[in-house]
Amino acid sequence: MIDHFSAACDIVQSAGRVLVFTGAGVSTESGIPDFRGPDGLWSRVDPEDFTISRYLDNPELRERGWRMHLNGELWGARSEVKPNPAHDAIAELWKAGKLSGVVTQNIDGLHQEAGIPADQVAELHGNLRRSHCVDCREDWETVEVLAWVEAGEADPRCPRCGGIVKTNTVMFGESLPRNEWTTALIMASAADAILVVGSTLGVYPAADVVLDPARRGVPMVIVNLGRTEHDHLATVKLDEKAGAVLPPLVEQVLGR
């Protein structure tokens, strides 16, 4: 029988630079629900509610969104959400000079909080820490907007122009931030191996960042609980919890 763990370690170890690509599954052990896992958000809310046109047209939807942020039911714009051992292990790889970068679909900022500099993390779907006015583009820390909500503004408006306020995250129907996308492609082209953590690889175009090189033969390790849409492209698949498997993997790779 192949030892998948050792095979995964070999791929990461023998690569000069590794691209790490993460999805919601890297953050579930920090207490942030994923979308498509068994307790995922899609079991409780309608994915259609995450389209930009609905958000702009529907004040009740915005009110519900802010209320959920305030109650910590979405992804915690607040500081009590902390990186878990999976984020820490990825940061160790970065500190050891093993990574060409981290490309994430997550909006929680936990890779940076684990110690990876912001310019080494391409956030394909934006970040929840800040919010902006969709009309005049003025922006604020999201905690500031949440304070307005807490003070009674259920659907907070821009103090300058009255426009609708939205977190700096990408909803269905919006295009990806151009800089982050370009950075992600540069990081991918500099990598000779790929490590996917906690993603179904089912959201596009984000997943193409790793699927294109994998199809061209760049070795790809997938660490994900449950199946992904592209397990057949993985050189090695570890069907395990990221927080349990990444720390020993990184320890082995770095020879500690």
Q: Name the DSSP class of 163.
A: P
Shortest approach of Zn ion to residue 165 CB, angstroms? 8
Asked if 165 is part of the footprint of Zn ion (rule: CB under 5 A), the reply reads no
> Choosing from 87, 125, 132, 230, which is the catalytic residue?
125
Q: Measure the CA–CA gap between 195 and 90, rounded to whole angstroms.
A: 10
Single-letter code of the amino acid located at 176: L
Query: Which range touches ligand NAD (CB under 6 A), out of 6-14, 29-37, 65-73, 174-182?
Result: 29-37
The site map against ligand NAD for 181-220 (x = CB under 6 A) is -----------------xxx-xx-----------------
Quickly count: other Cβ atoms within 10 Å of residue 104's Cβ. Answer: 32
Comparison of 104 and 158: residue with beta carbon closer to ligand NAD: 104
Asked if 176 is part of the footprint of ligand NAD (rule: CB under 6 A), the reply reads no
Q: What is the DSSP string of 170-233?
A: PPBTSPPPHHHHHHHHHHHHT-SEEEEES--S-STTTTHHHHHHHHTT--EEEE-SS--TTGGG
Comparison of 171 and 185: residue with beta carbon closer to ligand NAD: 171
The site map against ligand NAD for 123-162 (x = CB under 6 A) is --x-------------------------------------
| 247's tokens | 């720390």
Binding partner of residue 133 among ligand NAD, Zn ion, none, CB cut-off 5 to 8 Å per kind:
Zn ion
Quickly count: other Cβ atoms within 10 Å of residue 61's Cβ. Answer: 18
Asked if 158 is part of the footprint of Zn ion (rule: CB under 5 A), the reply reads yes
Is 125 catalytic? The answer is yes
Cα 8 to its chain centre, rounded Å, is 22
Asked if 226 is part of the footprint of ligand NAD (rule: CB under 6 A), the reply reads yes
CB 207 within 8 A of CB 199: yes
Q: Measure the CA–CA gap between 112 and 190, rounded to whole angstroms.
A: 21
Query: Which range touches ligand NAD (CB under 6 A), out of 106-114, 145-153, 159-167, 174-182?
Result: 106-114
Which of residues 93, 107, 209, 211 is near ligand NAD by CB under 6 A? Answer: 107
Q: How many CA atoms lie within 13 A of 111 on its CB side?
A: 28
Please identify every residue annotated as catalytic.
125
- Residue ranges in contact with Zn ion by CB under 5 A: 133, 135-136, 138, 158, 160-161, 163
